[in-house]
Amino acid sequence: MISERSRHAARRGKLGVLPNGFFMMADHTFVLTREHVALCDLLKLLSIAQSGGHAKSMIAEGLVTVDGKIETRKTRKLTGGERVCAAGETVRVQAA
């Protein structure tokens, strides 16, 4: 089942729709300008989450993975080289 968020993202052009009706995941690269970024802040900055509170609840519910493993630490420090997946989007964090 396709979530309403995925449908909305497709209408905004963030996700591609394949001929068979499936959605392609959106890929992002986030280049750090500091030593690290907190996981909840990353989700908020890229508008994957609607707010900081929404980002924290997504993480607490186990809807976010870092390098393929479910992450439940809301302020996990991302320092570069990590791959974050949430809400049908993939973010590669890159050190400056």
Domain tally, the chain:
1
Dump pLDDT digits (tens) for 11-59: 444 444 445 454 556 788 999 999 999 999 999 999 999 999 999 999 9
Q: Mark out the alpha helices in 21-90 (DSSP H runs).
A: 39-45, 52-60
In this structure, is residue 32 part of a structural domain? yes
In this structure, is residue 10 part of a structural domain? no
In this structure, is residue 58 part of a structural domain? yes
In this structure, is residue 37 part of a structural domain? yes
In this structure, is residue 78 part of a structural domain? yes
Dump pLDDT digits (tens) for 64-86: 999 999 999 999 999 999 999 99
In this structure, is residue 65 part of a structural domain? yes
Report the predicted TM-score, pTM, of the whole model to 2 decimal places.
0.74
**Long-range Cβ contact pairs of 52-60 (< 8 A, separation 24 or more):** 58/86, 58/87
Q: Distance (Å, rounded) from C-alpha 69 to C-alpha 50?
A: 23
* Structural domain range at position 90: 25-94
Q: Distance (Å, rounded) from C-alpha 13 to C-alpha 9?
A: 6
